Every structure is written in C-alpha cells, then in structure tokens.
C-alpha cells in the first residue's frame, strides 16, 4: 500500500486506469504510463527519453524520493519481440504512444502508482515531483478510453519539458491540458523549480552579508522555500491555466498546429 514516502505497489494491486511509473537511471527520472488491464500499459516515449532525462534533469535534489532511495538493482533488460516491434512501428509511423506489456514498461525496475487528489500538506511532504498530484482523477473507464484513443490517434510531438510521458499519463487521468502550452508534469516542474530555487538561494548566499555558515543556511532555506512554493503553484490541481479538453478536440488541436486534417470524421477506437 502506498504511504507518505513511497508509492511502490505489487502487480497484484493494479487496476485498469492506474497511472504507474518506474524509476530509471538511478532515480534521475521516472517513466510513466497508464495500465489498461491484461498486463498491458499504454505510454508515451520518443526513444531518446533516457538520454535526455539523464543529461538534463540531474540536480542536488535528484536523489530525494523517500524510501524509494533504497537501492533498486536493475539488470539489463531486453524487451520482448512484440513490444520491440510496437515501439519501432510507432516511432516509424510518427505516433509515440505505444502499448507494451508491463514487464517491458518496467524494464526490470520496481512498480509505483502515482497518487491523485492528495491534500496540500501531503503533496508538499512528497518533495520529489512526479509521485503525486492534487488534481482529481476521472473514472477508470474514462482514463482507459482516453489512453486507447491516443494510442490510435497520437499525442503530438514528444517534448521533454512540455509534452512528456508524465504529461500523457496526467491527461489520461484528468482530461486537463494547460492553455498556456506549458506542460503539467510534476517532473518538469520539479526540474524547473529546482533550478530556480538553487539560483535564488545562491544569490542570497552571495549578497546576505552574513558569515559563511549563516549565509549558507539562509540560502538553502530560501531556495527550498521557493522550490516548495513554485512546485505547489505548478501542480495541475492548483494551476489556473488548465482546462478540460476532450481527446477528440485535443488531437484535432495538435494536428491543426502541424497543418494536418482534423480527426473529427475519424471513428473513435473501441479496442
């Protein structure tokens, strides 16, 4: 069962519509997806995700994720032929939303479930982004329906900071999109707010006029306080620039941006 420090669950606890994730690269980042039942996960990736996260999202806070920091040995994992083909076909056809088995999604890592509708105190206690949100989830049936629709019609172009695997999972769970075009994933806000907090905290150290130990303490405290405030404000459960968008309209918007025909006349998948 999930607790304050870890969202790790057993595969037997999974239900269709769960937003799940697994840590990668020594907890540098997590890969997210939607469990749709029958041992299958629908998720969004572009193939370069691991390289991008590993090089761009490291920070002094990157090791913070509660009891999940216990060593997680991950052996080299070789995807099964069916999942490898699903990935190759999706990338080749320009649709980075793919469906794979749970084992290939986890790649030998542990299984975690993102928590929805948590209260502000619980949210802020989970310092690491991407583990919980104050936003409420829709019904499992709606979640799975959105994921299957996007599996057929796509979720636009992958973007590390604005449209990544966690953005996909959160949209499937909530139907929320930011009108500003800025991503709503906790990992993206974690990276951005951490960098901002470190920058402002360093500025405090350099300009405080106090002794070095006191200045360091004040700088760290200020930086961490700014981090928490920004992280709270960027969560989809607190943001003012998020709206509910039907998947048909979302896909049409994404296609119009690329000069492609709308999907209005296309049938919705029932698979």
Catalytic residue among 83, 114, 132, 165: 165
Is 43 annotated as catalytic?
Answer: yes
Catalytic residue among 19, 31, 32, 153: 31
Is 165 annotated as catalytic?
Answer: yes
Cβ atoms within 10 A of the Cβ of 119, count? 10
Q: Alpha helices, DSSP H only, in 108-159? A: 120-125, 140-153
Report helix, strand or coil for 174: helix
3-state helix, strand, coil in the chain (%, to 5): 45, 15, 40
Contact 110, 167 (CB under 8 A): no
Contact 24, 45 (CB under 8 A): no
The set of long-range contacts for 228-232, using a CB threshold of 8 Å and a minimum separation of 24, is: 228/124, 228/127, 230/189, 230/192, 230/193, 230/196, 230/197, 231/124, 231/129, 231/186, 231/189, 231/190, 231/193, 232/120, 232/123, 232/124
Instruction: Record the tokens describing residue 27, joined without a space.
Output: 């907890």
DSSP state letters, 24-59: ETTTTEEEEEEEEETTEEEEE--S-HHHHHHHHS--
Catalytic residue among 43, 104, 114, 172: 43
Catalytic residues: 31, 43, 165
């Amino acid at each position: 069962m999930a607790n304050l420090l870890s969202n790790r669950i057993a595969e037997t606890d999974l239900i269709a519509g769960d937003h799940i994730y697994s840590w990668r690269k020594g907890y540098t980042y997590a890969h997210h997806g939607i469990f749709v039942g029958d041992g299958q996960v629908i998720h969004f990736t572009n193939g370069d995700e691991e390289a991008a996260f590993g090089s761009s999202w490291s920070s002094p806070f990157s090791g913070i994720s509660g009891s999940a920091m216990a060593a997680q040995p991950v052996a080299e994992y070789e995807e099964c032929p069916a999942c490898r083909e699903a990935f190759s076909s999706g990338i080749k056809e320009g649709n980075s939303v793919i469906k794979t088995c749970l084992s290939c999604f986890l790649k030998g890592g542990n299984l975690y479930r993102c928590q929805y509708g948590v209260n502000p105190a619980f949210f802020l206690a989970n310092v690491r982004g991407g583990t919980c949100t104050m936003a409420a989830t829709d019904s499992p049936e709606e979640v799975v329906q959105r994921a299957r629709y996007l599996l057929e019609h796509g979720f636009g172009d992958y973007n590390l900071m604005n449209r990544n695997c966690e953005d996909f999972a959160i949209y499937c769970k909530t139907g929320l999109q930011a009108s500003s075009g800025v991503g709503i994933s906790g990992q993206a806000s974690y990276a951005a707010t951490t960098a901002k907090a470190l920058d402002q905290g360093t500025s405090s150290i350099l300009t405080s006029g106090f002794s070095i130990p006191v200045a360091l303490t004040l700088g760290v405290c200020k930086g961490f306080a700014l981090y928490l405030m920004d992280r709270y404000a960027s969560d989809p459960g607190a943001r003012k620039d998020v709206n509910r968008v039907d998947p048909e309209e979302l896909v049409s918007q994404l296609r119009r941006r690329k000069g492609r025909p709308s999907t209005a006349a296309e049938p919705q998948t029932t698979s």
